[in-house]
Amino acid sequence: RGELEVRLGCEGELIASVQLPNSATLGEQFTLETALPARTGIHDLCLRFTAPIRGPLYAIGAVQLIETTAQAPPAATR
């Protein structure tokens, strides 16, 4: 079933990888989530499937990057 690799550029450093779910159902949709290490500057991200080319093929419908460096709101008090 393989993994989805996230790289800085297509020949660049591997910065994350996510195990792909075992799926034999054509058209099945799922969500993958992973944390990426903080980087400065502007970079291209390259997403690469390592799954074998047999059986159902994986496709990407959308990618969303969410910045998580914001501080959590203060705890509620009574």
Per-residue model confidence as pLDDT tens digits over 47-64: 999 988 876 778 899 999
Residue 13 lies in a domain: yes
Residue 16 lies in a domain: yes
Residue 29 lies in a domain: no
**CA pair distance 20, 31, nearest whole angstrom:** 10
Per the structure, the count of domains in the chain is: 1
pLDDT score of 1: 76
Its domain, for residue 56, covers 1-22+42-63
Residue 5 lies in a domain: yes
Confidence of residue 25 (pLDDT cuts 50, 70, 90): low
Q: How many Cβ atoms from other residues are within 10 Å of residue 75's Cβ?
A: 5
**In the structure encoding, which two tokens stand for residue 24, read together?**
């034999």
Residue 55 lies in a domain: yes
Angle at CA 44, nearest 5°, toward 20 and 53? 35
Residue 49 lies in a domain: yes
- Among 1-10, 44-53, 61-70, the minimum mean pLDDT is found in 61-70
Confidence of residue 28 (pLDDT cuts 50, 70, 90): confident
**CA pair distance 64, 48, nearest whole angstrom:** 16
**CA pair distance 18, 31, nearest whole angstrom:** 11
> How much is the pTM?
0.75
